[in-house]
């Protein structure tokens, strides 16, 4: 299947590293003009340079802004007034005993993982609807439906994203714009490596640590390994294309079969 996103402008929030960076690179490889984003101007520019090095001829722009805040979102809107493809990837996670999560931490997870996406959808979706084309994707997680005991606050935020997705998909009904969640499973990123070592022991070699993590903490995975970020990027590219024109309001799984359910 050949996917050509030439002529489309795409934004991936939180794309200076990890899954977001892989998604941005995949969209650039498909021909989209990609806006990468992060809080740090230096790291965001480094992300831009890495994509250009990986994808010769890619059109990539770096916009540093803290999208977990209303002023940061407004700044982005001034610099990038229109989009064809919006990928809400920005998110935080950390293991924390559930009884130790205080009110401020609950609010922070909602602000960063949910409200950042809502702000950008409010900003860009109406224009997409007026033009009759657009793609919105919220990067959710298996944790949206399989709440992890070690980070209930994170699971809550990803569950909320599924509801946000469905609601805005209904708002865009009949306009040619699609709104979907991409439910990523346990994924191999530097942050996840640190998370895994925190759970199973920092002294273990990575391959052993990954195996123990999957066996002890993600035993339902049918892949029995962590997903690579590029595999999530592939799904985002497909959902961004005309080939996915009949897929909207959905929770599309790239979870390695981790969710033990026929439906999300």
Q: Which residues are catalytic?
A: 154
Residue 252 CA from chain centroid, whole number: 12
Which residue's structure tokens are 């007026």?
Answer: 130
Beta bridge partners, 37, equal 63
- Residue 7's nearest CA partner among 120, 121, 177, 133 is 133
**Under a CB-based contact definition with an 8 Å cutoff, are residues 38 and 76 in contact?**
no
Helices (H), 114-253: 116-131, 152-171, 190-200, 206-217, 229-240
DSSP H/E element including 76: helix 70-79
3-state helix, strand, coil in the chain (%, to 5): 50, 15, 35
**Under a CB-based contact definition with an 8 Å cutoff, are residues 261 and 145 in contact?**
yes
Edge to edge, the sheet with strand 85-88 lists 60-64, 33-38, 9-12, 85-88, 134-141, 177-184, 251-254
Half-sphere exposure of 126 (CA within 13 A, CB side): 5
- Residue 166's nearest CA partner among 176, 181, 177 is 181
């Amino acid at each position: 299947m050949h996917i050509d996103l030439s002529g489309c402008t795409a934004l991936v929030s939180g794309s200076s590293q990890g899954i977001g960076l892989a998604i941005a690179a995949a969209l650039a490889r498909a021909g989209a003009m990609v806006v990468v984003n992060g809080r740090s101007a230096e790291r965001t520019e480094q992300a831009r340079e890495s994509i250009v090095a990986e994808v010769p001829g890619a059109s990539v722009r770096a916009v540093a802004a803290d999208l977990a805040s209303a002023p940061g979102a407004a700044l982005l809107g001034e610099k990038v007034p229109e989009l064809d493809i919006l990928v809400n990837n920005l998110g935080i996670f950390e293991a924390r005993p559930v009884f130790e999560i205080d009110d401020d931490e609950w609010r922070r997870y909602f602000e960063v993982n949910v409200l950042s996406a809502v702000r950008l959808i409010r900003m860009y979706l109406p224009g997409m609807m007026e033009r009759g084309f657009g793609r919105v994707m919220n990067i959710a997680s298996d944790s949206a439906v399989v709440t992890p005991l070690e980070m209930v606050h994170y699971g809550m935020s990803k569950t909320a994203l599924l509801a946000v997705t469905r609601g805005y998909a209904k708002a865009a009904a009949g306009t040619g714009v699609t709104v979907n969640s991409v439910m990523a499973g346990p994924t191999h990123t530097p942050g996840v490596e640190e998370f895994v070592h925190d759970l199973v022991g920092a002294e273990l070699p990575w391959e052993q640590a990954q195996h123990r993590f999957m066996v002890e903490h993600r035993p339902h995975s049918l892949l029995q390994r962590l997903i690579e970020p590029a595999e999530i990027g592939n799904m985002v590219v497909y959902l961004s294309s005309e080939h996915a024109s009949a897929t909207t309001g959905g929770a599309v799984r790239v979870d390695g079969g981790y969710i033990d359910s026929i439906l999300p």
